[in-house]
Structures are given as C-alpha cells and as structure tokens.
Amino acid sequence: MDRSTFSVKHQDEGLFDLYGRKRVLSFILVITLITFVPLGVKNILLGESLLGGLLLAFELSLVVEVIGVFRFKRNIIGYKLPLTLLATSIILSIDIFGTLATYWVFPVVTTIVFMVPKKIALLSNTMIILGSTIAVLPHQEPMVTLRFVLALFFCVSISHVVIEAVRRLQRNLITLSTKDSLTGVYNRHQMDISLQAASQRAKTGEASCIALIDIDYLKKVNDFYGHDVGDRVIKSVAELISSHCRKTDLLFRLGGDEFLLLFDGIWQECALERLQRIKDEVVIEVVKECPQTKGITLSTGLAESLANEESEHWVKRADLALYEAKLAGRDQIKINGSPRCYTDAAVTVS
C-alpha cells in the first residue's frame, strides 16, 4: 500500500464506484436484454445477419463484463470491444434503416459518457457521430441531417460538461473525506484502513512499523506567538516529514500536534534509522521556515507490528512509547520493543 492507493485516479475510470457500477450495469443489462436481443434475432430473421450478429455479440460482451464486476470486481474484456461492437451496430443499423435508427444514438452516447472513462467516451462518441452522419446522409435531406448532427453534438457536449463537473465535485469530496484540511496529510479514517491492512500482512510475517510523533512545546508557540504561527509549525512539520519519506510511507494527522507515520513493509531497525534521520532533519528545517519557533523538537514512540495483534493494540504500544519519550525529557525516540529484537520495554535514541 502506498500514497497512490488513496489517490483520486480511479475517478477517471467512470462516474461510479464499484457499488454504483453494479446497480447501473444491472439496469443497462436488463434494458439491453429486453431490446437488443430481440432486435438481434429479428435482424437475423430479416436477413441482416451481420447487424443481428453484432447486436448479439455486444450483448454477450456486456454480460461478460457484468459477471466480471459482480464476481471478480474488475473488468474482464474492458471497454474497447463492447464499444466497438455497439458503435458498429448503430452505424450499420442507420445505414440499413435510415432515419428510424437514428433515435437510438441519443441514449447510447449519453450512457457512454456516464459509464466509461473520459478519453474513451470522447473518442467513442466522436466515431459514432461521424459514422452516423455519413450513414444517414443518403436517407434524408442535408438540412435534416445537419439538424440531427447539431442536436447530437449538443447532447454529447452538455453530457460531458455536466459529468466533468460531477467528477470534479467527487474528487473534492474524496479529498475532504481522506485528507486533513490544515496539513494535507491523511486523516484518521484512512489511518484505520491502512493499519488494519498492515496488521493483516503481519500475520503472514511481513513486518511494518508505526511512529507516533508529537511536536514538543507547541503550546508555548501558540501562547507566545498565536495559533496562526502554531498552525504554520504543524503544517511545516507535516510537509517536511512527508518530503523525507518513501512513497510507501504514509503520514496521518491524529489531531492537534500529533501524527502517525506508517513505515510499511520494513523491520524495526530500518524504521528506527529512517525515523532518526527524519527527526533530525525536520527539527533543523522547521526552524529555518519558522525562525521564531526555535526550540521546537519532536518526541516519538515507535512500535513494530506483531502477528495476531489488533491495530488498536499496536497503536497503544506506540502511544506508550511516546508517553515514555515525553516523561524522559522530550526530543527523543522511545521504542516499544519487539520480542524478536529487544528485551527492554523501551529503548531511548536521543
């Protein structure tokens, strides 16, 4: 697990999350079974075997995709084949039946905007509009075709603009629900998810470590210089810690002046080495950014994951180590020792 796990990249994969896709795909499947299958059979009986075969092939590909989403929670054959079959069948039906078939284009292009990634939707709808225009020209007056093309273009354009606004809103909501508003690091909700996943991996022998980091003497900064300066210190510390971390290290704000840093997939000795380097460099750099806060230090409690341990107990051990660091005079790291490496309850690293 790394920072990309919580990114909003998946919003480019369509408008809906997995649960929403299941519901919408179920509805589309029912509608197409009622319409496309009978139309496919009818066209085969009328001698239009190619068109009928394309419609039935599209329906089969849609069934396969629905099975993939419901059973395997992923795409099986992807978007390209179903969209190609659908676009080809629409253009061919317009070429055969003329204006009567053009009415199917509007719901199809709108559905594509909702269901598939933006770039693929734009490409697919462009091909459908161009193909439909060429196919319908021999069947009606040029001015009628122009009105059809303009109406279709406006329909697709409005759909894309509206859906893009909704996607942008979704991205903002996801950011608000996963990130701390002051520092931009992950919040407690995302921390719970990450720690539970790391605890599960610990059962298979993959170690991880967490560090509870507390900013020392921040209350004095708030009292002497105001909470705005204190907020700048908190934000600077978060940014500096993040800048010194690997991509797989995840930083969460617990609240106030306390953070949790997850070192995913490394043993305690390596985590301690990294944490000491981060602590020293952050303390030096935060003073450069906020000169009036000279004397700010970090107290840290470190704990390695144990097999068959709940994430709450893991955090509790790190919290006990942090408490010892503060009792011992702050500006140090205390380790809640793993039986694998240490016999002492805590180890001091100043």
Catalytic residue list:
257
- The radius of gyration of the chain from alpha carbons, rounded to an integer in Å, stands at 29
**Which residues are bridge partners to 334 per DSSP?**
301, 348
Instruction: Retrieve residue 123's tokens.
Output: 């490409």
Q: Are strands 298-304 and 250-255 parallel, antiparallel or unpaired?
A: unpaired
Three-class SS state of 333: strand
DSSP string covering 36-97: HHHHHHHHHHTT-HHHHHHHHHHHHHHHHHHHIIIIISS-SS-SHHHHHHHHHHHHHHHHHH
H/E stretch holding 201 reads helix 188-202
Instruction: Retrieve residue 43's tokens.
Output: 């066209």
CB of 281 within 8 A of CB of 298?
no
